[in-house]
Amino acid sequence: MLDVALTIVRDEGADRLTLGHLAARAGISKPVAYDHFGTRSKLLIELYKSIDQTQAAALQAALTTGERSIEETIAALASAYIHCYADTTGEWHAIGAALAGSEEKEAVYQELLDGYVQLFAAVLKPHIDLQQAELERRCIGLIGAGEALSGAMVRGNCGEPEAAETFASLIRGGLRESLSCRSNGEA
C-alpha cells in the first residue's frame, strides 16, 4: 500500500492522498486501508518514514564502504545527503508539507534527524578531534544547512551538483579547526 501511496503523491500530489483514494488505487476496500493506517496523518507518517528509511539506507551504504580521506569523506557525505533529496523528486517535501503542524510529524521528523546526526558523527569521528557532544552539535547545524540546500534544490534554485558542493564547503568550514589534528594536513 505504501508503494501505491507514493505513486499517488508522485502522480497527483500529496493533497490527493487519502485513505479512500489509496484503497481505490490499490484495489482494496476502504475498511482495509482504514484498519491498516487509521487516519490520513498516520498514512502520511508511515510514507514519510518509508521514504526516509530507503534514503537513510542508501546514505549509510554510500558512506560506510571503504576507507576515505577527510576530503573524500566530506565530498561523499555531502553528495550522498543531497542526492537522497534529489532521488525523491520532491515527495519528501510534499509529504512534509501535508503534515505541517502535526505534532506526530514533528516527533517523527526529530527522530529521523537525530538518526542523521548520529550517522554524520560516526562517519566524521575518525577524522575529527572533537569531543562527541561537540561533534554532534556541529552535525545538527550541518544537517540544518543540508536540509535548507536540499529544499532550495527541490524548488529549482540550484542543481544537485551545486547543492552538494556548497554543502561540502559548509561541512569543511564547520569542522576546519578540528580537521588538521587527525587528518595529517588533508583538510
Topology (CATH level 3) of domain 48-183: Tetracycline Repressor; domain 2 (1.10.357)
Is residue 110 classed as helix, strand or coil in its secondary structure? helix
Helix, strand, coil distribution of the chain in percent, nearest 5: 80, 0, 20
Nearest to 112 by CA among 64, 155, 57, 171: 57
Whether residue 13 contacts residue 58, with contact meaning beta carbons closer than 8 Å, is answered with: no
> Domain map of the chain by residue range?
1-38, 48-183
Mean pLDDT for 61-72 is 80
Fold match, 1-38 / 48-183: no
What tens digit of pLDDT does each residue of 107-135 get? 888 888 898 899 899 889 988 889 999 99
3-state secondary structure of 45: helix
> CA dist 162 to 82, 135, 149, 158, Å?
10, 25, 9, 6
pLDDT at 182: 47
Helix or strand holding residue 121 (H, E): helix 103-124
CATH architecture of 1-38: Orthogonal Bundle (1.10)
Would you state the cell numbers that stand for residue 39, as one nine-digit string? 487516519
Burial label, 149 (beta-carbon count in 10 A; 0-12, 13-18, 19+): buried
pLDDT, mean of residues 72-76: 91
Mean pLDDT of 75-81: 90
pTM of the model: 0.75
Q: Are 26 and 4 in contact (CB under 8 A)?
A: yes
Axis-axis angle for helices 70-87, 132-154 (nearest 10): 40
Is 34 or 57 the better-scoring residue by pLDDT?
34
Q: Look over the chain and give the mean of its residue pLDDT values, rounded to a whole number.
A: 86
**How would you write 46-108 as a 3-class SS string?**
HHHHHHHHHHHHHHHHHHCCCCCCHHHHHHHHHHHHHHHHHHCCCHHHHHHHHCCCCHHHHHH
Average pLDDT over residues 14-40: 94
